[in-house]
Amino acid sequence: MSFKGSFAGDDRLDRALSIGALARHSGATPPTIRYYEQIGLLRRPDRRDGGHRVYGEADLKRLTFIRRCRDFGFPIEQVRDLVSVIEDVDRSCTEVRDLARDQLASVRARMAELRELEASLGLLVADCEARCAGGPGPDCVILEDLAAPGRCCAG
């Protein structure tokens, strides 16, 4: 699937989708769709006589793209940058690669933090099992450690 030529195209007459149908097909929720409209990631849709939103295939494609970007953890501003690359033939693929590379570094950093947290929690649990498990709750070494000033992690 190529994004040459962007998400543009007046396909609203080809397939009219309600916000509920758009949500079902894209995996997003109606409040999320409204939010993306509000912040300008999705165009404001046409409305039927009763005021109901009407979306088309281009909207579904764009929303699916945005949702997938969010699934990969891209912040909204980076999603906005990725969408702008799709809409500008003069932009380079290396911009996309660089954004993905930055996101990968962010994910790796969070994973390292989570591994440290896992190790610290493991130490807390092991210390409790060795020193006080089964005793009075207020005497638990985990509670003592969590209340210690200046400590961010067990160990």
**What's the pLDDT at 124?**
95
Q: Which residue, of 31, 53, 72, is where some domain finishes?
A: 72
Chain length of the chain: 155
Amino acid at 148: A
Q: Does residue 88 belong to any structural domain of this protein?
A: no
26 and 67 within one domain: yes
Instruction: Examine residue 33 and state whether it is found in any structural domain, yes or no.
Output: yes
Query: Alpha carbon of 125 to those of 19, 98, 115, 116: distances in Å?
Result: 47, 40, 15, 14
Q: Is residue 77 part of a domain?
A: no
For the segment 2-57, what is each residue's pLDDT rounded down to a tens digit? 555 456 654 444 578 999 999 999 999 999 999 999 999 999 888 888 888 899 99
- C-alpha closest to that of 40 among 76, 3, 4, 94: 76
Whether residue 95 lies inside any domain: the answer is no
- Same domain membership, residue 67 and residue 24: yes
Q: Which of 72, 88, 113 is the last residue of a domain?
A: 72
Domain contains 64: yes
How many angstroms separate the CA atoms of 29 and 70, rounded?
A: 13
Q: Assess if residue 8 is contained within a domain.
A: no
DSSP string, 74-112: --HHHHHHHHHHHT-TTS-HHHHHHHHHHHHHHHHHHHH
CATH number of the structural domain spanning residue 31: 1.10.1660.10
Identify whether the C-beta of residue 43 lies closer than 8 Å to the C-beta of residue 58: no
Q: Is residue 129 part of a domain?
A: yes
CA 68 to chain centroid, in Å, comes to 8
Residue 39 structural domain? 19-72
Residue 89 lies in a domain: no
pLDDT digits over 15-25, tens only? 789 999 999 99
Percentage of the residues of the chain whose pLDDT score is greater than 90: 76
Number of structural domains the chain divides into: 2
